[in-house]
Amino acid sequence: MTSNSINEVAGADSPAPVQEARLWSNNGWTARVIKNEDDEGWAVEMLKHGETEPALVGPWTMGRDKKNPKPLDAAAFNTLVKTASEFLQRQVQQLRAAQHQNITINMPTGRVSISLDRVADEDDYHALLTAHDAYDEQPAQVRVDSGFRLSKASAIAWIDDGFRKPR
């Protein structure tokens, strides 16, 4: 599928592609070359359409005159889109990892999987501590403080305490 047909499929909400020296926009992304506030150079920001904050801001190459930025081109734009997309994917993966943890403990009675799932409720931020046995039965689930730290030691202590709510 060509980029033109992608924009046609996306409908009227998709802005028309822009290909200027300091501004490129296409396929849901905008790259904009900006003055670097921290030094005398240039930076490029990548903004995913519909978002208010850039997904990625990085240094940009000076042009031949050593004053103005190098113009954006198709290859640079595609590389920036790929980099910004991968950056957002890593952020999502890190957030998921922080929200969900899992430990498997081999006990004399069998294998027990303990999971901790943080519930991001604005009014009642908490976590659920859940046990599953080797047969995927759920012998216990308790609500714990959002700051509860799941570790091998805390999981074994919870199992040894008969799955009572940790203090």
| pLDDT confidence of residue 53 | 94
The model's pLDDT over 22-58, given as tens digits with 9 standing for 90+, comes to 999 999 999 999 998 777 789 999 999 999 999 999 9
- Say whether both 24 and 53 belong to one domain: yes
The pLDDT value recorded for residue 101 is: 92
89/12 same-domain check: yes
- Residue 14 — very low, low, confident or very high, per pLDDT cuts 50/70/90? low
Residue pair 105/155 in contact (Cβ under 8 Å)? The answer is yes
At 11, the pLDDT band (50, 70, 90 cuts) reads very low
Identify whether 75 is part of a domain: yes
Q: Are residues 86 and 113 in the same domain?
A: no
What's the CA gap between 13 and 28, in Å, rounded? Answer: 10
Sheet strand arrangement including 110-119: 100-107, 110-119, 126-133, 140-145
CA atoms of 76 and 155, how far apart (whole Å): 49
Using pLDDT thresholds of 50, 70 and 90, give the confidence band for residue 10: very low
85 and 10 both lie in a single domain: yes
More confident residue, 11 or 146: 146
Please say whether the beta carbons of 86 and 79 come within 8 A: no
Expressed as residue numbers, the domain containing 75 is 3-97
CB 62 within 8 Å of CB 42: yes
Task: Looking at the structure, tell me whether residues 12 and 80 fall in a common domain.
Answer: yes
How many structural domains compose the chain?
Answer: 2
What integer pLDDT is reported at residue 13 of this predicted model? 57
Whole-number Å distance between alpha carbons of 78 and 49: 15
Same domain for 93 and 115, yes or no, is no
**3 pLDDT more than 70:** no
> Is 35 within a domain?
yes
Domain shared by 10 and 85, yes or no: yes
- Encode pLDDT of 53-106 as tens digits: 999 999 999 988 888 999 999 999 999 999 999 999 999 898 888 789 999 999
CB atoms within 10 A of CB 42: 19
**According to DSSP H, which parts of 35-132 are helical?**
74-99
pLDDT in tens, 95-138: 888 789 999 999 988 999 999 999 877 788 899 999 999 999 99
Q: Which helix (H) or strand (E) holds 153?
A: helix 152-160
Same domain assignment for residues 133 and 114: yes
Last residue of a domain, one of 76, 97, 118: 97
Q: Are residues 70 and 48 in the same domain?
A: yes
- In whole angstroms, give the CA distance from residue 38 to residue 82: 25
Domain boundary (62, 78, 97) is at: 97
Q: Coil, strand, or helix at residue 59? A: strand
